[in-house]
Amino acid sequence: MLTFLAEFSNYVGALNLFRYITFRTGGATATALFFVFFFGPSIIAALRLKQGKGQPIREDGPQSHLLTKKGTPTMGGLMILSGLVVSTLLWANPRSAYVWIVLFVTLGFGAIGFYDDYLKVTKQSHKGFSGKARLAGEFVIAGLACYFMMCASLTVQINSIADLLGALAAPLTMDSPSTRLAVPFVNGYVLNLGWAYPAFGALVIVAAGNAVNLTDGLDGLAIVPSMITAGTFAIIAYLAGNTIFASYLGINYVAGTGELAIVCGALIGAGLGFLWFNAPPAQIFMGDTGSLALGGLIGTIAVAIKHEIVLVIVGGLFVVEALSVIVQVTSFKLTGKRVFKMAPIHHHFEQLGWSESQIVVRFWIISFVLALTGLATLKVR
């Protein structure tokens, strides 16, 4: 929205700053941070009043959680999403189709998570609504987003509703960069997925959403790695959306994705504001409302900038958390034995005697190292 100020730069030279993605990314980060700081206490008070007993704690989980976390309000993702959306709408170019696609997935996944949290709070049970129904909803949202990204015309600026409808109605090309898979350490695209691309992209987005959701089990454990991942993809999105940088680094140029750096900046700002209230002992949990939305956002950006495989590296912490659950469930069903003392894996370390702060900080360090590794793929080609 504020990008229109650049049109008056002939009269006030300083307004030319609003043309630059880097400046607007910084503005988005600061805006989201102060928004959550300012409105956070009111949101927490309202949620505590509405929820009464707060988020139910699993009886089969770590016993320490029953004593320290019981009664803490959930749905703190509303704080993150409100700051993120307001900041993005203020600082991002509203003509960028990619911005709207990412917001569509973020809010869609957030709505699914909100309904799940609502059922848990009202029923005072850790079970939300049907897992199959939830996954179906996520795949529909993610699939639509991938279809929109396949519409080649959407890579240009959308100036009107007519432009948007025309882009969506245009025939799709099944042999274009939007349907091809890129691999780290290799120049160019290596595989054209064609009509299978929406399914592949949707799988990436849904997997990312649920991986972050599984990671959200300790105070601050999910939000900081989410911010680290967002910061990494802010850099990659900026580079991938610039022809000069993309050519120099040998990465695939994707027109229009530079604006996604602003969305990532908004996530970082909102995440920092939320962490102020979520730091141990947490005053509020993000709940599925926040974790599903953040994972969906990160996954969608990875698909948009054609760095789906790099997401596995940068978001490796989330991958390990999800795999630990898959391995645990599969092993128990097939053999009746558990591989870990408890899953997801952060609970395994709790059972080994690690303190919550040790687990959280060490996982943050791992996430930072993985982010640096992911950035290294930009030049090693």
**Structural domain includes residue 357:** no
Cis peptide before 280 (omega within 30 of 0): no
Specify which residues 182 forms β-bridges with.
189
**Structural domain includes residue 237:** yes
Q: How many domains does the chain have?
A: 1
**Structural domain includes residue 316:** no
Residue ranges for the chain with pLDDT beneath 70: 51-70, 124-128, 152-176, 188-189, 381
The Cα 369–Cα 224 span in angstroms is: 13
Q: Evaluate whether 142 touches 202 at the Cβ level (below 8 Å).
A: yes
**Those residues with Cβ within 8 angstroms of residue 373's Cβ, 6 or more apart along the chain or in another chain:** 313, 314
Count of other CB atoms within 10 angstroms of residue 133: 12
| Whole-number Cα distances in Å, 86 to 13, 76, 259 | 26, 16, 15
Specify which residues 220 forms β-bridges with.
none
What was the pLDDT predicted at 120? Answer: 83
184-207 core/surface letters (b: 16 or more CB in 10 A; e: else): beeeebeeebeeebbebbbbbbbb
**Structural domain includes residue 185:** yes
**Structural domain includes residue 114:** yes
Tracing tokens 């009509």 back to the chain, one arrives at 195
Which two tokens mark 79?
């704080």
**Structural domain includes residue 202:** yes
DSSP string, 185-233: TSSSEEEE-GGGHHHHHHHHHHHHHHHHHHHTTSTTTTHHHHHHHHHHH
The Cα 343–Cα 348 span in angstroms is: 6
The Cα 358–Cα 350 span in angstroms is: 9
pTM above 0.75, yes or no: yes
Render pLDDT for 287-300 as a digit per residue (tens, 0 to 9): 999 999 999 999 99
- By residue range, what is the domain housing residue 159? 21-307
The Cα 308–Cα 306 span in angstroms is: 6
**Those residues with Cβ within 8 angstroms of residue 46's Cβ, 6 or more apart along the chain or in another chain:** none
What was the pLDDT predicted at 174? Answer: 58
Q: Evaluate whether 287 touches 126 at the Cβ level (below 8 Å).
A: no
What was the pLDDT predicted at 122? Answer: 81
**Structural domain includes residue 318:** no
What was the pLDDT predicted at 372? Answer: 95
**Structural domain includes residue 354:** no
What was the pLDDT predicted at 153? Answer: 44
**Those residues with Cβ within 8 angstroms of residue 27's Cβ, 6 or more apart along the chain or in another chain:** 2, 90, 91
Angle separating helix axes 197-215 and 287-304, nearest 10 degrees: 140
